[in-house]
């Protein structure tokens, strides 16, 4: 996998559709994993959304509650991904295939496209899952499932880049 070639990368951007459910949760999970890990503070983590619909908002209250039950604090402010993110970040982690396609369309070069990966590529316990499904129109159970997958993918990603 190309990530092996880029193990020195230290800036990660998580991206989902609106930046209020999955990507801010991934940002919060990764930040907590880094806090718990000695020497992990040199990794910068952020999140963004494909679209502008929720820019300026906190993460969805259902995801914040779900995260709080597991000891996370999801409090980033939603923003839209932009061209500058391909310069600022070394790894751009999409939550699903549609996000990957949208990011590839936004990328201006093959080098930028190589930065795009899908979180499911790093699943350890849930390798049978191809994506982190969007829980926005779902139930609390859907948020729990998404967070479980995000935790798994973040652990796998951290192992890959450490």
When pLDDT is cut at 50, 70 and 90, the band that residue 42 belongs to is confident
- Is 129 among the residues known to form the active site? no
pLDDT of residue 124: 97
Mean of pLDDT values over 135-160: 97
Q: Which 3-state string (H, E, C) describes 55-94?
A: CCCCCCHHHHHHHHHCCCCCCCCCCECCHHHHHHCCEEEE
Residue 97: per-residue pLDDT? 97
Amino acid 37: pLDDT: 84
User: Is 73 tagged catalytic?
Assistant: no
pLDDT tens-digit map of 89-127: 999 999 999 999 999 999 999 999 999 999 999 999 999
Tokens (6 digits) for 156: 């796998």
Mean pLDDT of the chain: 93
Nearest to 14, CA basis, from 57, 39, 49, 66: 49
Q: How is residue 110 written in tokens?
A: 């093959």
* Strand 116-118 with 44-49, pairing: unpaired
pLDDT of 31 > 80? The answer is yes
Report yes or no on whether pTM surpasses 0.85: yes
How far is residue 134's CA from residue 125's CA, in Å, rounded to a whole number? 19
Instruction: Tell me how far apart the alpha carbons of residues 151 and 36 are, in angstroms, rounded to a whole number.
Output: 14
- Model pLDDT for residues 68-91, shown as the tens digit of each residue: 999 999 999 999 999 999 999 999
**pLDDT above 90 as % of the chain:** 88
Active-site choice (21, 22, 46, 60)? 22
Catalytic residue among 66, 134, 152, 154: 134
The span from the CA of 44 to the CA of 131, in Å, is 23
Helices of type H across the chain: 22-36, 61-69, 83-88, 97-106, 110-113, 140-161
């Amino acid at each position: 996998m190309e990530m092996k070639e880029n193990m020195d990368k230290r800036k990660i951007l998580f991206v989902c559709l609106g930046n209020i459910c999955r990507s801010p949760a991934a940002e919060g999970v990764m930040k907590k994993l880094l806090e718990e890990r000695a020497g992990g503070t040199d990794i910068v983590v952020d999140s963004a959304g494909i679209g502008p619909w929720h820019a300026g908002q906190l993460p969805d209250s259902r995801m914040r509650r779900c995260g709080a039950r597991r000891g996370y604090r999801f409090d980033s402010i939603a923003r839209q991904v932009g061209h500058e993110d391909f310069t600022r970040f070394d790894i751009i982690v999409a939550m699903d295939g549609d996000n990957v396609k949208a990011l590839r369309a936004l990328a201006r070069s093959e080098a930028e496209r190589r930065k795009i990966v899908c979180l499911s590529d790093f699943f350890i316990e849930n390798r049978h899952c191809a994506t982190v499904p969007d829980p926005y129109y779902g139930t609390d159970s859907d948020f729990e499932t998404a967070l479980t997958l995000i935790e798994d993918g973040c652990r796998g990603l951290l192992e890959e880049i450490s």
